[in-house]
Amino acid sequence: MSLRTRLALIAAGLTLAGLALGLALLYLLLERTRLSDLDRELAFQAQTVLAAAQADPNNEIPPELEDDLTLQSGISSMLVFREGKLVFAGGALNANYPLDRAALLQGYGVSSVRGWRVHTLSRGKLTVQISRPLASLGRGLTRYAEVAIPLTLSLGLFAGGMAWLLVGLALQQLEALTQATAHFEEGIQVPSSTGNDEVSTLARSFRDLLGRLREQRAREQRFLTYAAHELRTPISAFRANLEAAQFRGKLDAPQIERLHGEALRLETLAQNLLALSRAESGEIRKQDVDLADLVSEAFDRFQPLALERGMELELDASPAPVQADPRLLEQALNNLVINALRYGKVGFVRLSSGLRQDTAWLEVADGGPGFPENLPEGLGLRVARTVAQALDGNFIMENAQGAKARLELPAYIGPPTQLPSKEQQMRS
């Protein structure tokens, strides 16, 4: 059974239950109200009959009054007792016995006996018992039930039908969510919603979730594409060198050097792919880092390579505190320095860091020809850009008397150092 059908049945059931309860209470109220009205009429008529019986020497009711009470008031039985003995019987029903003997002995009371409403009233030695049938009251309440029951069923069906239509409108967004989930691979989008109800909120949350899943899928596909593209060349070269060594039966020094270079390249690619995966997935482990320390360490690490290539490595490190992942920053900086040493060719490579207002930065500049137009972004630059974005920063590339690559991050100034109190100073 679908959710729409269940909600429609629940709405119909609640409507029927509410109407049935309300109509039942109204039935009881009408019954009590009608009985109360009947009791007041019988009380007035009993007083009238008792007064007439007291005025007559034989304690009988004048025929005119009897006809009036019988025809107009609907009294079916009127009995007059003196000291418990019947002295007059009148009304539409010729009853020669009291309908309510207990009330007769007591001398007063109102009761329902065998389909009759009986009112007993005493004054002195006389007791009057007035009775009317309850059949007319029952017929009125039966007519009420005959009208109320079909009306209740009709309203319940109407409520169920309206609930079916309205629930269908409310569940349109859930149906759209179902379709989007079932056809996720086909890229079906969840319609946007501006409502504030629970279904609209769920639709927006699910739309955001599907968007994040698609972004994650796209990142995975890009990662696999980069991995396949970047690893193909070094692995092929590695295999070719091994096959040549196998053909010759030994490894000479140039082959060993080439294999070592390819191994280093594979190691660098693996580190870049790992850094790219961590940055895109948000696997960030932040801690206090000074960019000056990073560029200083990179200066020491790449000094031998710069001398080997006949380039001058310069350092201009100023304090630049940030909160970041040092491993990701180190990988991004390594890529920038390697690119500068590889494509700068001659001249210098300058590593620098600094702080400007609330922005900390590190920069790698070279005196080479600069970045070419329409430069395709390789794996190294992509890692640097992705790391900057993952750390809420920016990555800027520009040509200014060479190539400059700058990574900017929000500066982090730790909590102020609390000065020792006078008491602590005295103790020290």
Quote the CA–CA distance of 186 and 225 in Å, as a whole number. Answer: 20
Quote the CA–CA distance of 21 and 386 in Å, as a whole number. Answer: 66
The pLDDT value given to residue 417: 41
What is the residue-level pLDDT of the chain in tens, covering all 428 positions? 676 677 777 877 888 788 788 878 887 888 788 888 888 888 888 888 888 888 888 888 888 777 777 776 667 778 888 888 888 887 767 677 787 888 877 878 888 887 788 888 888 888 888 888 777 776 766 777 777 778 777 877 777 777 777 777 766 667 777 776 666 666 666 666 666 766 677 777 777 777 777 777 776 666 666 666 666 666 666 666 666 666 666 666 676 666 666 677 777 777 777 777 778 777 889 999 999 999 999 999 999 989 988 899 999 999 999 999 999 999 999 999 998 998 876 789 999 999 998 999 999 999 888 888 777 777 888 889 999 999 999 999 998 778 999 999 999 876 644 444 445 444 44
The pLDDT value given to residue 409: 96
Q: For the domain bounded by 3-139, which CATH number is listed?
A: 3.40.1840.10
Q: List the one residue out of 404, 289, 414 whose CA is nearest residue 340.
A: 404
Quote the CA–CA distance of 183 and 350 in Å, as a whole number. Answer: 52
Q: Which long-range contacts (CB under 8 A, 24 or more apart) does 79-87 make?
A: 79/128, 79/129, 80/49, 80/50, 80/53, 80/126, 80/127, 80/128, 81/126, 81/127, 81/128, 81/129, 82/125, 82/126, 82/127, 83/125, 84/127, 87/53, 87/58, 87/59, 87/60
The pLDDT value given to residue 143: 73
Q: List the one residue out of 311, 293, 319 whose CA is nearest residue 350.
A: 311
Superfamily assignment of 286-410 in CATH?
Answer: Histidine kinase-like ATPase, C-terminal domain (3.30.565.10)
Q: How many CB atoms lie within 10 A of CB 18?
A: 14
